[in-house]
Amino acid sequence: MNTHALSAHVLTLLVRIHSEGQRATLEMLVEELRVRRGDIRRTLSALHREGFVDVLRMRPTLAGFALGRSLGRVALPALRAPKVAAVVAA
């Protein structure tokens, strides 16, 4: 799993949830991204340390909101590499 891609996905998802007026939970992120809970927690902690997410309120900071909105306009890299069998069959 690509950890840099995961942080971009988590941040854009948090911005989308916040923009819809909802409060994000760890379960929402796990279900939406279909990633292990531990990976999401590590990513949230890293984004919190870097100042992009307020983990206590599960909201993006102003810098995180701006970054998440700009990332929402581009195609994000895949979280997982494609399976070899799927690549060979295509």
Q: Which tens digit of pLDDT belongs to each residue from 36-90?
A: 999 999 999 999 999 999 999 999 999 999 999 998 888 887 777 777 665 565 5
- Domains of the chain, with CATH numbers? 3-89 (1.10.10.10)
How far is it, in rounded angstroms, from Cα 90 to Cα 84?
A: 10
Residue 3: per-residue pLDDT = 78
Residue 86: per-residue pLDDT = 56
For the stretch 4-41, pLDDT in tens is 889 999 999 999 999 999 999 999 999 999 999 999 99
Where does 1-90 show beta strands of DSSP type E? Answer: 53-54, 59-60
Q: Specify the DSSP element, H or E, that contains 71.
A: helix 62-71
Residue 83: per-residue pLDDT = 72
Contact 28, 17 (CB under 8 A): yes
